Structure 1
Amino acid sequence: MSEAAINNLTIGTGATLAPPQFDDPYQQRLHDKQRLAAAFRAFALYGFDEGLAGHITVRDAVEPETFWVNPLALHFSLIKASHLVRVDHHGNVVEGDAMVNKAAFAIHSRVHQSHPSINAVAHSHSRYGRAFAALGQPLQPISQDACMFFENHAVYDDFGGVVMELDEGQRIANSLGANCAAILQNHGLLTVGSSVDAACANFIIMDSCCHSQLLAQAAGELKLIRPEVARQAKQITASELVTWGNFQPLYQKLLSQDASFLD
């Protein structure tokens, strides 16, 4: 993120708001694993945990053809960086001694493999995302927050049951295109980002936008933001800096309450 981009979004002086940069890929790996563990704590905080469903992944900085994922059946609120499992795109566990949700592999491996610029993927069966996904329609630009998804998310309408096969995962990856998110009809939400921070924050905001649109549609006719205005807002709200930055206050809260996820 350029200094000019940061200056365009801030006033005053102080610590620079920007993603950290690492020369050592092993330091990047540790950072990403700790942020991934924090993202699971965030999902637990928002109630995005339900049974065995839900997974967040991050591409490994040392071996990019592998990714880190949560172990099967460990509650999100308990996950630490040391619990994470590293898997390759062929379904081999290359680091860690826990089982991994097969659906997580089928979806996330195809997204990571098909989209080299995507470093993190988040998916869960959240309450409002799941309800909105049953409508099979896109989010509308009804608020500043929703504008970040304007012309920036897909609707995958070919639900084929629990995703156990790579073909289904590949179709989801293909439907995503260059967007930051997908609504999986009759299933839930999927968001992506260049960092765990962005993918997690995008998911939280998207679920909230689903909730808002459900409420607004139930109350009456939607008043949409004009396309040109929605696009202008999206340039800011969907930028790499803002999507990463949206996670930082939540990360600070998680860190102050229980920093055990760093272990």
Structure 2
Amino acid sequence: MKSETPREILARRKAKRRSVSEVEWEARIQLAACYRLVAHFRMTDMIYNHISLRVPGTDDQFLINPFGLLYEEITAANLVKVDCEGKLIEDDGLDVNPAGFVIHSAIHMARHDVACVLHTHTRAGVAVSALKQGLLPVSQHAMRFFNRVSYHDYEGISLDDDERSRLVADLGGHHTRILRNHGLLTTGRSVHAAFELMYYLEMACQIQTSLPGNIGDWTLPAPAVCERAALQFEHSHEFLKERDWHALLRLVERIDPSFKE
């Protein structure tokens, strides 16, 4: 990836803003904000991992980060638009990590109820993914995922297209998946929904991996209590009305408003 001068960057951003619809530009801003938030909460893995978003009004196009940029560098303008075959919609000198394409395109192609896909390789997430029992309801943060998380066995770096069908089959109708010996993945009908799930999934994994002793020493609530809590979380949006997401957007705006450019 060639380095750009400040003038070239500004010119490209202005050109991108003029070339897309208002709806797509707003989607780009939301996705860029999510990248910055994932960086802020320390859920990144250098230039790897991805957050993708279906382009509004399309079935076969989505936005994803260009390969080689840190999450702190992602803006609305430098997000890359590709189709579900991995072809760049606009060739502006940026490309996409092929491993990210395989995982994300598989879900976008099969799950039309999903707009956003978020994948991480955090220390706590990978640790829980390696545990035979997986995620346990040891905290209130984990309760929202009770009987609502699926698992996909490790097959190596996700470069083979034929893994797509197994990725989708293992996800089922869930919005949360733990990739064994690999990391975490969440999906949502919006950027906000996918980020919220990932934030609390990560917190649940951090809490679980910080507990001392062995599982026999931990208190696990009764399954009926866990299910009740999960249902309460499922309906929490009716009360929250995206107050949390708006607060997070204010946060990233204060940190660095360049994500909107």
TM-score for both structures, normalised by structure 2? 0.85
Indicate yes or no: 2:82 matched with 1:87: yes
Please, what TM-score do these two structures have when normalized by structure 1?
0.84
CA positional deviation for 1:219: 6.2
Tell me if the contact between 2:102 and 2:158 (Cα under 8 Å) persists in the aligned partners.
yes
Q: Distance in 2 between matches of 1:189 and 1:83?
A: 25
**Which residue does 1:251 correspond to in 2?**
249
Tell me the equivalent position of 1:110. Answer: 106
Q: C-alpha deviations, 1:89-137, integer Å up to 9, x for none?
A: 1111113521101011101001011111011000011111011111143
| Other-structure match for 2:43 | 48
Question: Could you tell which deviates more after superposition, 228-237 or 29-38?
Answer: 228-237
- C-alpha change, 1:161 and 1:91, in structure 2 (3 Å) is same
Which sits farther off after the overlay, 104-113 or 252-261? 252-261
Aligned to 1:261: 259
Q: Secondary structure at the match of 2:135?
A: coil
Match of 2:146 among 136, 150, 171: 150
Q: Deviations over 1:9-40 (max 9, x none)?
A: xxxxxxxxxxxxxxxx9433222211110111
- CA distance in structure 2 between the aligned counterparts of 1:143 and 1:243, rounded to whole angstroms: 24
Matches within 5 A, 1:67-86: 67-86=62-81
Distance across 2 between alignment mates of 1:100 and 1:93: 9
RMSD: 2.0
User: What SS does the corresponding residue of 2:251 show, helix, strand or coil?
Assistant: helix
What's the counterpart of residue 195 of structure 2? 200
- Secondary structure class of the residue paired with 2:249: helix
Alignment of 1:130 onto 2:131: no
- Cα distance in 2 for partners of 1:217, 1:177 equals 33
Q: Residue in 1 aligned with 2:13?
A: none
1:59 aligned partner: 54
Q: Which runs of 4+ in 1 moved over 6 A?
A: none
- Structure 1 residues 184 and 245, CA gap change in structure 2 (3 angstroms): farther
Question: Bigger CA drift: 248-257 or 219-228?
Answer: 219-228
Letter of the 2:96 partner, please give it: V
- 1:121 aligned partner, one-letter code: V
* Alpha-carbon separation, structure 2, partners of 1:244 and 1:171: 33
Distance 1:76 1:146, change over 3 A: same
Deviation for aligned residue 1:238: 3.2
Partner of residue 226, structure 1: 222
**Residue pair 2:141, 2:203 contacting (<8 A) in 1 also:** no
Query: Identical aligned pairs, as a percentage?
Result: 32
SS at match of 1:236: helix
Deviations 1:152-209 (A, max 9, x none): 111212x111100122233112211111211101100001111111111211211110
Q: Which has the larger radius of gyration?
A: 2
